[in-house]
Amino acid sequence: MLMFGPLRCPECRASYPVAEGVADLVLEHGSAGGLQRGLESRWVARSYERHVRPALQRALLRQPLDTDSEYLLYRSLLGTPDGPVLDLGCGTGLVARRLAREPAFPLVAGQDLSPAMLEEGVAQAREAGATVDFLRAQAPALPFLDGTLGAVLMADSLHYLEDLGRLMLEVARVLRPGGRWVASTYAPPGSASGFLHRRVGLHPRAEATLRAATSAAGLVRFERVALPPLLVLKAEKGSAESLR
């Protein structure tokens, strides 16, 4: 794990700072919705796992799964990753550090945009004795080489990203053949509530939209677990044989 920087790209020769275990790859921060701005608050980050995340889940899902059931669902859909696992939109690393503590589990990386969340994630991982590589980067761009990841997990974060098409292309690019994408989101509310959700930076989609986006990116074996309004999704990058 990198603790201090800078981190240099051998191809473009760009230099990025690394401090306290977080590589910061964000050169220009694009505009963020109101909810995203709130998630960049240190107070929110420190209370995220205990108070903020449960409150958001209750507001969006009405009857969310308990933490253990939610984790077991993600874990079963991830299967046995054949390579590093990216927790995209990791927040404070609640799921990432639990994955990292599993025996013989591959390397776990956590990517998020909020510096406060990542700082809290590093502290929580140290306290838990979990090895997680944290990096700050702005999705849908994923700063990984083609075909290097065994899985990409988006636990409760898919609805924060607006450009679904580009996201899925990036996911397909970085996954190894047979690698899995696992994500959770919530079904779109009615038109009036949907407008308010978009105003604060949330982008829920219907299952048909998500299925079409994964297919357009070349991912296969789309599956979903529906616990309305919760949607948990899985898709795979085709094996080397099927890609020939």
Model pLDDT for residues 30-55, shown as the tens digit of each residue: 555 567 778 889 999 999 999 999 99
Q: In 33-162, where does DSSP find H-type helix?
A: 34-39, 42-47, 53-61, 67-78, 94-100, 115-128
On the question of pLDDT at 241 being above 80, the answer is no
Residue 199, pLDDT score = 82
Q: 186 versus 5: which is more confidently predicted?
A: 186
Contact (CB, 8 A) for 8 and 14: yes
Which CATH code of 3.30.70.260, 3.40.1210.10, 3.40.50.150, 3.60.15.10 fits the domain covering 31-243?
Answer: 3.40.50.150
Q: What percent of the chain has pLDDT over 70?
A: 88
134 or 23: which carries more pLDDT confidence? 134
In the 8-state DSSP scheme, what is residue 81?
Answer: -
pLDDT value of residue 1:
47
pLDDT tens by residue, 147-206: 999 999 999 999 999 999 999 999 999 999 999 999 999 999 877 677 788 888 899 999
Lowest mean pLDDT among 5-14, 20-29, 170-179, 187-196: 5-14
Q: Which H or E element spans position 19?
A: strand 18-19
Return the pLDDT at 242. 52
pLDDT band of residue 93 (cuts 50, 70, 90) is very high
Q: Is the pLDDT of residue 233 over 60?
A: yes
Domain boundaries, the chain: 31-243
Contact (Cβ atoms closer than 8 angstroms) between residue 121 and residue 113: no
Higher pLDDT, 244 or 26: 26
